[in-house]
Amino acid sequence: MAADEHLIMPDPKDPRLTERVTGSDQDGNPVETSVTVERPLTLFLNGQEIVTMMSICDYPEYMAIGYLVNQNMLLPDDEITGVDYEEDISTIVVRTARKTNFEEKLKKKTLTSGCAQGTVFGDVMEKFDDAALPKDAVIKTSWLYALMKKINTHPSLYLEAGAIHGCVLAEQDRVLLYMEDVGRHNAIDKVAGYMFKHGIGGADKIFYTTGRLTSEMVIKAVQMGIPILASRSGFTAWGVELARSVGLTLIGRARGKRFIVLSGEDRIIHDAQDLSEDDEPIELNRKGAAQ
């Protein structure tokens, strides 16, 4: 990707994010490889402890803000008066002008299928039920194929060390943000936090994730106001059900020039050329379902 084509993204050469570890291969030969470094980060909202997350901690401010936004703990009109990150004690404090008390809400939290500490609170669904996504948003297949090629070939922590999820915010075929973390919910929260802090709307954006298209990913995309969610991975049944209920375009199994759409097909403009022999096929079982 050109230097002016994105706003922020991970630095795979940052020594804080990976470590070199020695081991052996399948033949017993010595090897040295990079592994991803994860560390705990405890989040406070004003004076109240909210959650401890495992993260690579490359953009802790955006992840903290995005987590609070996606849990409805920060509202659109909230004013953030400060964010204090203390790396040596693995703590980040988000301060707001409006005082908050989430003691009762924290009692209602339920663990999601995400890695590490992903949570969805009871009243998140109330906001989801009232969501309205733009119906005039579109995605061209040429944009999707171009985005996937850029994402899959650009230097990343995934290529450097693996054990990581990536999330991308895009406009047409242009990458705006590229975030990675050990949990896909952390990566999407970083994007949400950046959007909140810088006043970026989601109505004309496309969201791409390397992770599964679960209920959590659908809910967060809708909360961010993004009408199109794509992944190289597969779907969960509840993820599809929720996407259909709000008209979210849900694209999965996106590899090469192949993909499956299970919701919001009307937003897709098929403008790309026919499949080439180099495109990776999607295997189907005997009933025609994607593997």
Question: Which tens digits make up the pLDDT trace of 198-215?
Answer: 999 999 999 999 999 999
**Conformation bin of residue 56: beta by default, left when phi > 0, alpha when psi is -120 to 50:** alpha
> Which tokens sit at 35?
């592994």
Beta partners for residue 43, in sequence order: 51, 92
* Per-residue DSSP letter, 126: H
Which CATH number goes with the domain that contains 183?
3.40.140.10
Is the model's pLDDT at 117 over the cut of 90?
A: no
201 in any annotated domain: yes
- Residue 104: pLDDT band (50, 70, 90) is low
Instruction: Work out the angle between the directed axes of helices 215-223 and 60-70 (0-180°, nearest 10).
Output: 90
- pLDDT tens digit string along 41-90? 999 999 899 999 999 999 999 999 999 998 888 988 999 999 999 999 99
Q: Which domain holds residue 154?
A: 139-269
210 in any annotated domain: yes
Please count the structural domains in the chain.
1
Is the model's pLDDT at 262 over the cut of 90?
A: yes
Instruction: Work out the angle between the directed axes of helices 184-198 and 215-223 (0-180°, nearest 10).
Output: 0
**DSSP H helical ranges for the chain:** 60-70, 103-107, 124-129, 141-153, 157-160, 184-198, 215-223, 237-246
- pLDDT tens digit string along 130-173? 788 999 999 999 999 999 998 888 878 877 877 788 999 999 99
User: Nearest Cα to 115, choosing from 57, 177, 53?
Assistant: 53
Query: Backbone phi, then psi, for 142, in 5-degree steps?
Result: -65, -35
221 in any annotated domain: yes
Query: Backbone phi, then psi, for 237, in 5-degree steps?
Result: -60, -40
Number of neighbouring beta carbons within 10 Å of residue 23: 10
237 in any annotated domain: yes
pTM of the model as a whole: 0.84
When comparing pLDDT for 113 and 227, which is higher?
227
Mapped onto helix, strand or coil, the DSSP state of residue 32 is strand
57 in any annotated domain: no
149 in any annotated domain: yes
278 in any annotated domain: no
- Residue 113: pLDDT band (50, 70, 90) is very low
20 in any annotated domain: no
| pLDDT score, position 244 | 96
